[in-house]
């Protein structure tokens, strides 16, 4: 890993328009924004749904090639993923969690921010 370690969190009601995953300094509570010349690299994530339904974890939008997760979860269901080859978001973009019907969902992400191209 080369870069600035971060973790991301989101817990609450998601919508079809997507809700941004908030990034923090690794092990801290200081919010870390992604600069226009930086990449978010995701190594692990866990996703849970209180109400169930279709969930999408995407790099900013549901455009082709930006999905990290797309599945239907049962109520009180969840999944975790570890990438042996980390997923690199497009330059300057973070993650958003998209749900349906105002799901009550949460996601936790581990990774780092880098300027390496």
Residues (pLDDT < 50) of the chain are none
What is residue 117's predicted lDDT score, i.e. its pLDDT? 59
Q: How far is CA 49 from the centre of its chain?
A: 14
Q: Are 95 and 9 in contact (CB under 8 A)?
A: no
Q: What is the pLDDT of residues 73-83, one digit of tens each?
A: 999 999 999 99
Strand partners, 113: 4, 40
Read off the pLDDT of residues 53-78 as tens digits, 9 standing for 90 and up. 889 999 988 887 789 999 999 999 99
Biggest alpha carbon distance in the chain? 39
């Amino acid at each position: 890993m080369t870069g600035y370690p971060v973790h991301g969190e989101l817990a609450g009601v998601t919508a079809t328009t997507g809700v941004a995953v908030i990034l923090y300094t690794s092990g801290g509570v200081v919010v870390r924004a992604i600069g226009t010349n930086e990449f978010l690299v995701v190594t692990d994530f866990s996703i849970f749904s209180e109400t169930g339904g279709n969930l999408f974890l995407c790099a900013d939008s549901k455009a082709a090639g930006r999905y990290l997760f797309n599945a239907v979860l049962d109520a009180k269901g969840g999944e975790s993923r570890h990438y042996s080859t980390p997923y690199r978001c497009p330059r300057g973009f973070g993650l958003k969690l998209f749900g349906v019907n105002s799901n009550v969902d949460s996601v936790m992400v581990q990774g780092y921010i880098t300027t390496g191209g």
